[in-house]
Amino acid sequence: MFIETETTPNPASLKFLPGQQVMPSGSREFSSPEAAEASPLAQAIFDTGEVVNVFFGSDFISVTAAPGVDWSVLKPQVVSILLDHFVSQAPLFVGGSAAGISVPAEEDMVVEDDPENADIVAQINELLETRVRPAVAGDGGDIAYRGFKDGIVYLTLQGACSGCPSSTATLKHGIEGLLKHYVPEVVEVRAA
């Protein structure tokens, strides 16, 4: 088995490609060792002591190193952990639970969607799913919808995209421009 790596726009993050499916559906982000307890793989990566974020996408894992960590030392450790995991076909989550699927909970919504805006919200989500999510996944991350109110779309960037120096440009120039073009009711995109 061979694990490929790719750089991301976030210099603190690397994208690891095991050449097989990681998540059967959805995505999952672990932003602390406590959160990583749901996944033996995420926990093993956090156990290096040099990681601040692990993100599982459909066919990749993004890892964000702590400030000042040298990737030339950390990268072989992460590759070794990933090889051990995928070669042994270990479970991704403790107890085979559904803990791996990331679905925004109501408390994660910044604003509640007005039922009168259902068509607009559907258009926004369709564009996020078909146009934005594949591009963001290419950079080792994901995007989560957090609400629409008064022309403002609230989104959260995850994985390698969270904390990336170009995340503001991604939201303001890329995603906002796309949504405003296709959905005239959108006037702004904000990070949630």
Q: How many percent of the chain have pLDDT more than 70?
A: 94
Question: What is the predicted pLDDT for the residue at 103?
Answer: 46
Rounded to an integer, the average pLDDT of 33-60 is: 95
For 72-103, the pLDDT digits (tens) are 999 999 999 999 999 999 999 987 555 555 44
The domains found in the chain, sorted by start residue, are 4-96 (3.30.1370.70), 106-191 (3.30.300.130)
Question: What is the predicted pLDDT for the residue at 110?
Answer: 76
Nearest Cα residue to 132 out of 56, 189, 62: 189
Nearest Cα residue to 55 out of 81, 132, 46, 105: 46
Q: How many percent of the chain have pLDDT more than 90?
A: 67
